[in-house]
Amino acid sequence: MLRLFNTLSRQTEDFRPVRKDVTTVFTCGPSVYQRAHIGNFRTFLCEDILVRYLEYLGHTVKRGMNLTDIEDKTIKEALKRKTTVSELTESNIRDFVEEMRLLRIKIPDFLPRASKTIDKTVTLIEQLLHVGIAYWHHGNVYFDPLKYPGFGQLYGLDMTKWPTKKKRFHKDTYPGMRWNLGDFIIWHGARAGDSVCWDSPLGKGRPSWNIQDPAMISTCFHETLSVYCGGFDNLIRHHDYTRAVLESVRPYPMARHWVHCYHLHVNGQKMSKSTGNIYYTDTLMERGYDIGEIRFFLIEGHYRGILNYSDENMQSASNKLKRLKNMVTMLENKVDPRATPDESLASRIRRVFSEHMNNDLDVRGGFEGIYGTLSKTEPGSVTPGEASAAIRALREIDRVLQVIF
247's CB contacts (< 8 A; 6+ apart) are 148, 253, 254
Give the model's pLDDT for residue 271.
84
Distance CA 76, CA 79 (A): 5
Give the model's pLDDT for residue 246.
98
Neighbours of 318 (CB within 10 A): 20
What does pTM read for this prediction? Answer: 0.96
pLDDT classification of 275: cutoffs 50, 70, 90: confident
pLDDT classification of 379: cutoffs 50, 70, 90: confident
What is the percent of the chain with per-residue pLDDT over 70, rounded to a whole number? 100
Give the model's pLDDT for residue 276.
83
Sorted by where each starts, the structural domains of the chain and their CATH numbers stand as: 3-261 (3.40.50.620), 266-401 (1.10.730.10)
Give the model's pLDDT for residue 89.
98
Q: pLDDT digit string (tens) for 311-335? A: 999 999 999 999 999 999 999 999 9
- In order, the DSSP letters of 28-88 are ---BTTS---HHHHHHHHHHHHHHHHHHHTT--EEEEE-BB--SHHHHHHHHHHTS-HHHH
Please, what sign has the CA dihedral across residues 269, 270, 274, 280? Answer: positive
Residue 274 clears pLDDT 90, i.e. is over it? no
